[in-house]
Chains A and B, each alone.
Chain A
């Protein structure tokens, strides 16, 4: 007996050990992603461009100086001469920078800065980064204010200068707005394509198709494509859809539309099978009831079957969205890895997932930004999963699968 207990305990301990792996892995992922990304994640990140715009500006005239007043917050340094305040901050790459935190309404800098080399007046905005500034003092001396010296020294330097030779501004950078919009476009276009096609096929297979070898063949063929790895879909998309959209819409290469088509053929099996399950669950007697009342098959389909299959259709939609958000390999091939700030359906771009891939491929992989994006993806996936579960519990009128 004791020997039995010892052996049993041994196996039990092994079981406990191996099971904790799952938790450990999840913890690893969350810790990494949150520790690196949480600090970077912000509303600004979500709404700014990825690529930075650099402005080189100047204020050529001598300025007599206003006597601006401003109550500085902590870390803010104010130049009363020009009516502008600076703050030390950390940019999206984690580098110490100086940012414009306040501009007085009467400050000459608000609309008075002229672009060097062109005739455009620049509208100065809060939250633009100053990388460096060269001012001219009263005696004609040059005052240099690089960002690395900090906001305090910059404000002091501004106070001594009467005109600005060059002011280097950087706007935006490290934002994921482009990727976010591209992802949403991709989801929209894919759903527009895959839902009607998938539901139509599910209806045919559940209701109209006769039980013969042809139907079995059709079902097998559709199932088979769910075993194909996504990278192959990427290759096919590259081969078929990219040239197709080149001809149709005039894009030169990658495009979101091609991506939508690729995701469509990838997601058809799952939409079809989930919808089919939802239709199969509807009791045959309800369908018979409708037909017995003289409704045509079409009327029955649209009035009885589809409305009752809505939970399944919703589920497949959510599953599809989840797959789209997470897909990377196929999209790289048809949408490219160039992050776009101005997203158009006939141009390529990155989705959130491929943006991460892009960041990892840089010389210095940007873990912080990638982790921030990962947080967005994880949260979306989590919410989608919860929604699927809720639909499963609440809306299933005809009995649950589990």
Chain B
């Protein structure tokens, strides 16, 4: 299997605090990889390294090597990197614009002006995000008028419009109700045919439902990393077993 990210010996510091300790991990192409673990253990931090969103935080220092498609991350120009590695956030953050403009925003920023081209992109992204049928009559309506679950799918569509290779998802369903959560999980299963997905989740069952690989984090370290089946059926590490059996959370 092809590796799309190779993470070696990564240490991350927020000022004095050592947030990520000696991380070694490979992300495989067109697979869904899940990061699980208790709160505050570094999952989202590592996720944000992958599209260099941590660069926006003062006092954040990263050591070690992260390679994307065999090239070091900091050798990429951030704008190019982020058009290839997209991110969906924990609470939906649509722009205060119309649905159409939200999705067309990314392409427009990268120079696509042609009306027809934009329309095609918008419609295909909405279809891939399983939102098209619900909004097709109202593309000019405000994005803020959608429900929480619809807004999150809109953000996913917005991300897809950039035709990225990777979609990073930071607890995408934690702010949504169970039905919306289900819809998004179904979506992830569809999306992995075309995209590599890395998802941070608090919900272990979600990891078992959607991911192919799972990494278990604790206090800034990766305790165990394996295929999802293996990790949940035969955890090699006691701490992993304790976590997934609910002895601590």
Give A residues with C-beta under 8 Å from B: 1, 3-4
**Minimum Cβ distance to chain A for residue B111 (Å):** 8
* Residue of B with least CB distance to A3: B111
Interface residues of B in 113-158 (CB under 8 A from A): none
**In the bound complex, what is the Cα–Cα distance between A1 and B76 (angstroms)?**
12
Q: Give the residues from 31 to 77 in chain B that come closer than 8 angstroms, CB to CB, to chain A.
A: 77
What 6 pairs between A and B have smallest CB-CB spacing? A1-B77, A1-B79, A4-B79, A1-B80, A3-B111, A4-B111
B residues near A3, Cβ cutoff 8 Å: 111
What are the residues of chain B within 8 A of A1 when measuring CB–CB?
A: 77, 79-80
* Alpha-carbon distance between A135 and B80 when the two chains are bound, in angstroms: 94
By a CB distance below 8 angstroms, the chain A residues around B111 are 3-4
Residues of B within 8 A of A (CB): 77, 79-80, 111
A14 to B78, CA, bound (A): 24
With both chains docked as a complex, state the minimum distance between the C-beta of A218 and any C-beta of chain B, in angstroms: 34
CB within 8 Å: A-B pair count: 6
Q: Which residues of A contact B77 (CB under 8 A)?
A: 1
* Chain B residue nearest to A7 in the complex (CB): B111
CA–CA, A1 to B77, complex, Å?
9
Q: State A3–B79 Cα separation when bound (angstroms).
A: 13
CB of B64 to closest CB in A, whole Å: 27
Chain A residues near B79 (CB-CB < 8 A): 1, 4
6 CB contacts below 8 A, A to B, read A1-B77, A1-B79, A1-B80, A3-B111, A4-B79, A4-B111
The distance in angstroms between the C-alpha atoms of A4 and B79, with both chains bound, is: 10
CB distance from A240 to the nearest CB of B (A): 48
Q: How far is the CA of A4 from the CA of B111 in the complex (A)?
A: 9
Q: Which residues of B contact A4 (CB under 8 A)?
A: 79, 111
The answer for the CA separation of A88 and B111 in the assembled complex, in Å, is: 75
A contact residues around B80 at 8 Å (CB)? 1
Nearest opposing residue in chain A for B109, CB measure: A4
Q: Shortest Cβ distance from A7 into chain B, in angstroms?
A: 10
State how many angstroms separate the Cβ of B55 from the closest Cβ of chain A: 17
A92 to chain B, nearest CB (A): 55
Instruction: Give the Cβ gap from B100 to chain A, nearest Cβ, in Å.
Output: 23
Q: Once the chains are docked, how many angstroms separate the CA of A222 from the CA of B111?
A: 51
A1 to B82, CA, bound (A): 13
Of all chain A residues, which has the CB nearest B80?
A1
**Bound form: Cα–Cα A1–B80 in Å:** 8
Question: Roughly how many angstroms separate A347 CA and B111 CA in the complex, as a whole number?
Answer: 71
A4 to B80, CA, bound (A): 11
Would you give the shortest CB distance from B108 to chain A, in whole angstroms? 12
**Complex CA distance for A61 and B141, rounded to whole angstroms:** 102
Closest A residue to B110 by CB, please name it.
A4
Measured between C-beta atoms, what is the minimum distance from A349 to chain B in Å?
A: 54
Residue of A with least CB distance to B77: A1
A3 to B77, CA, bound (A): 14
Q: How far is the CA of A227 from the CA of B19 in the complex (A)?
A: 54
- C-alpha spacing A4/B109, complex, angstroms: 9
B81 CB to nearest chain A CB (Å): 12
- Determine how close the nearest CB of chain A comes to the CB of B11; give it in whole angstroms: 31
**Bound: A3/B80 CA distance, A:** 13
Complex: how many Å from CA A1 to CA B109?
A: 11
A348 to B212, CA, bound (A): 88
Shortest distance between the CB of B52 and any CB in chain A (Å): 16
Bound state CA distance, A1 and B111, in angstroms? Answer: 10
Q: How many Å from the CB of B82 to the closest CB on chain A?
A: 12
Q: Give the distance to chain A from B40, nearest Cβ to Cβ, in Å.
A: 28
Q: Which chain B residue lies CB-closest to A4?
A: B79
A242 to B146: give the CA distance in the assembly, Å: 61
Query: Nearest chain B CB to A2's CB is how many angstroms away?
Result: 10
What CA separation (Å) do A386 and B77 show in the bound complex? 45
